[in-house]
Amino acid sequence: MRLSRYFLPVLKETPAEAQIASHRLMLRAGMIRQQAAGIYSWLPLGYKVLKKIETIVHEEQQRAGHIPLLMPTLQSADLWRESGRYDDYGEEMLRITDRHGRDMLYGPTNEEMITDIFRSYVKSYKDLPLTLYHIQWKFRDEIRPRFGVMRGREFYMKDGYNFDLTKEDALHAYNRHLVSYLRTYERMGLQAIPMRADGGPIGGDYTHEFLVLAETGESEVFYDSEITDLKFGSREIDYDSVEQCQAVLEEFTSRYARTDETHDEAVFAEVPEERRRSARGIEVGQIFYFGTKYSEAMGANVQGPDGKPVPVHMGSHGIGVSRLLGAIIEASHDDKGIIWPEGVTPFHVGIVNLKQGDEEADAACESLYKSFEALGLDPLYDDRNERAGGKFATMDLIGLPWRITVGPRGLKNGVVELTCRRTGESEELSPVDAVEKVAMIYAGLKG
């Protein structure tokens, strides 16, 4: 993309309404625009990152064997009356009446609808196990929408639902989700720690929240510092293997790590004092096993091996796709702006032309641009007639991990400058070597 033709409405001033860094930076970098409290337009740069995050979530879900579908945002109240949640859900549910006087709602989640789909088609245990998921907009009429996309009213969420014959099978689905989530967040450059959480109205002993440590997080968390040394890394997992998934779950959940709802001072005291930490965290996902709660209420039975109908065991699993943009920025920024991890960056590399209009500089930039495109990479070329300082400030603000600076002086010596946004370190390389180095970095990303 050539910046002169792009739509990147960066702001010079710091928006007064934004209280935390990620919200400020998303507004300043022209990523989002608030349309009503907790409701945002995704401007081109923000939309690009949202789609990158969404793609990673899809890839990792499907790697784990989960099947995508798409349910609507609007739902009929009838299904929610069957489960009893139409009355229980309270004021966070946005209720709508259509022209015929029928009660509708903008879905805050989809347990009822997926259970309805399941019971309509699946009749035999032979069709299990089954995990269906979608990535769709949700609406929760949060009392205090704030922090930009972190606590919106309309937000984008991946929600998945597993259907299994037995509790044992459903617990494997639970473990499998935990493993796939670890991989998902790491691909986004995030450390999200699974912490024992509270089931809330869904209930059940089996639930973990995934938290990104950040001072601005809304959750208070307590953990054994050893947990932050754990990395999932590039290990290959057979998601069908009960033993392998179980082993990862045990590795990542055996140390103390809890949200304030499940925190227990007496148990925490058993952790050596120098390793005890309390901190703030951003919840970026949650997994549940809740047994037969919905299947019994809504008659989602299958015929078991003995021919008798049995209610299926279920769990649900959510990732806050739009919240993740905020969480990633909270975890990765500096005074100058955002620092995107390579896995989610909106453009792979920025090209800054120090002297637009200079024949050699223009030609060198064009050539770099075409080389990156030929390699399947996505460059952003700042080809505007602007001061170098302004161009650098924009690149730093929008946070592309790599920048190539091209100017007549360097070109005389046959070099351009490659700069790493995270470390600020620069090196002079021939244009060919600069392209190759950037290409190698992206080729090394797991995906």
- The binding site for Mg ion (CB under 5 A) comprises 286
Q: Is cis: bond before 129, omega within 30 of 0?
A: yes
- Cα four-point dihedral sign 68, 69, 74, 75: negative
**217 near ligand ATP, rule: CB under 6 A:** no
Backbone angles phi, psi at 239, to 5 degrees: -70, -15
- The option from ligand ATP, Mg ion, none interacting with 399 (CB < 5 to 8 A, set by class) reads none
Half-sphere exposure of 30 (CA within 13 A, CB side): 14
CB of 198 to Mg ion, least distance (A): 9
Stretch that binds ligand ATP, among 152-160, 241-249, 267-275, 389-397 (CB under 6 A): 152-160
Residue 310 is which amino acid?
Answer: V
- The option from Mg ion, ligand ATP, none interacting with 323 (CB < 5 to 8 A, set by class) reads ligand ATP
Complex with ligand ATP: residue 142 or 378, whichever CB lies closer: 142
For residue 435 the two structure tokens come to 């392209």
**174 near ligand ATP, rule: CB under 6 A:** no
Half-sphere exposure of 88 (CA within 13 A, CB side): 9
**151 near ligand ATP, rule: CB under 6 A:** yes
**85 near ligand ATP, rule: CB under 6 A:** no
The closest residue (CB) to ligand ATP is 320
**183 near ligand ATP, rule: CB under 6 A:** no
Complex with Mg ion: residue 286 or 405, whichever CB lies closer: 286
Burial of 233 (0-12, 13-18, 19+ CB in 10 A): exposed
Stretch that binds ligand ATP, among 19-27, 233-241, 289-297, 319-327 (CB under 6 A): 319-327
Site for ligand ATP in 107-136 (CB under 6 A): 109
| Nearest-angstrom CA–CA distance, 274 and 257 | 15
DSSP string, 292-325: THHHHHHT-EEE-TTS-EEEPEEEEEEEEHHHHH
- Residue recorded with tokens 């009893």: 84
Complex with Mg ion: residue 162 or 286, whichever CB lies closer: 286
Q: Quick one: which of 349, 341, 354 has its CA closest to 371?
A: 349
Q: Residue 286: beta bridge partners?
A: 209, 318
Complex with ligand ATP: residue 277 or 323, whichever CB lies closer: 323
- The option from Mg ion, ligand ATP, none interacting with 320 (CB < 5 to 8 A, set by class) reads ligand ATP
Among 320, 350, 399, 401, binds ligand ATP (CB under 6 A): 320
Query: What percent of the residues of the chain are helix, what percent strand, and what percent coil, each to the nearest 5?
Result: 40, 30, 35
CA distances from 344 to 93, 145, 366 (A): 32, 25, 25
Among 30, 152, 343, 401, binds ligand ATP (CB under 6 A): 152
**285 near ligand ATP, rule: CB under 6 A:** yes
CB of 318 to ligand ATP, least distance (A): 3
Contacts to ligand ATP by CB under 6 A: 109, 140, 142, 151-152, 155, 157, 283-286, 318, 320, 322-323
